[in-house]
Structure formats: C-alpha cells, structure tokens
Amino acid sequence: WRYMFGFSAPLAAIMAVGMWSLPPSPRWLLLRAVQGKGPMEDNKKKAMNALRRLKGPSASDKVLTDEIENNLSSIKAAYADQAEGSIFQVFEGASLKAFTIGGGLVLFQQITGQPSVLYYATSILQTAGFTTASDAAKVSILIGLFKVSRCLKSTILEDGR
C-alpha cells in the first residue's frame, strides 16, 4: 500500500500546483458583487480577467462581456428568489427524499461490505484460484480501474456533459 500512496503523491502535488494557479471563479466573483461583498464594477472586471485567463487569449471581449452579463443576470434572478433558510430544510420535502436516498445508498454500500471486497480482493482472488499473488493483484487492479471508470461515467452523466 505504500507504493500505491507513493505513486499518487506526485500526481496530487501536480494537481495542487495547478489549482493554486487557477484564478477565482468568475461566477463566484459576480455572486460576491450581488451579495454586496465588493463593488460591482471591480468584481465585474475581475470576473472578466478571470474568464479571459480561463478561456485563453483567443476569446473576444464581446463574447466574454456577454457571458459575464448572462451570468450576472442569472445570479441576480436566483439570488432574488432565494429566501433565508435553515439547516432543518434538509429534512423537508424534496431535500428529505434526496437526503434519504443518498444516505441509504451509502449505508447499504457499507452494510454489504462492498468496499471490503476491494481491500481484500487479492486474498479473495487467490482463494478463488489465482495461483500467484501477482496475478491476483493484477486482476484486483483491473477491478479497481473498472470501478473508477464506472464512477467517472456516472458523474459525467449526472453533470450532463
């Protein structure tokens, strides 16, 4: 397991450096302006610069301005419809249904021992008939890759991309 964590450490460091260099989200900057946590014009300029940095120098000012204005109008509309809420709203209506389904899935996954299968897959596969530990480990890695690809696929489908 040390090699597994050691192999992922450089990738995590590269991702951390990449994320550190990202600008703030243009939508977040506009939301702060709508909430009154900064001057509107300054935040619009910052959002424009952040969007230009994210989209690259080839994006025209007209397209960026239109996107900023569209985002700003959608944020204002959403913020105007938003009422003060409390944490107890999680336990009401559609939120309760989503909370129950999500919590139930996590509970079911833990009760059935599904994560344990991956932890002990090499031992289980050796017991099932793989003679060498390296063959069982390769199949275990393959199972993990299939599981990751399934998670990525479902995430992509949920996002609608």
Give the range of the structural domain holding residue 114, as residue numbers without chain letter: 88-160
pTM for this predicted structure: 0.48
CA 132 to chain centre: 38
- 30 and 50 part of one domain: yes
Q: How many domains does the chain have?
A: 2
**132 and 146 housed in the same domain:** yes
114-159 pLDDT tens trace: 667 777 777 878 888 887 888 888 888 888 787 777 666 665 655 5
Instruction: State whether 123 and 97 are in the same domain.
Output: yes
Domain boundary (83, 118, 145) is at 83
What tens digit of pLDDT does each residue of 28-62 get? Answer: 999 888 888 888 889 899 998 898 888 887 778 88
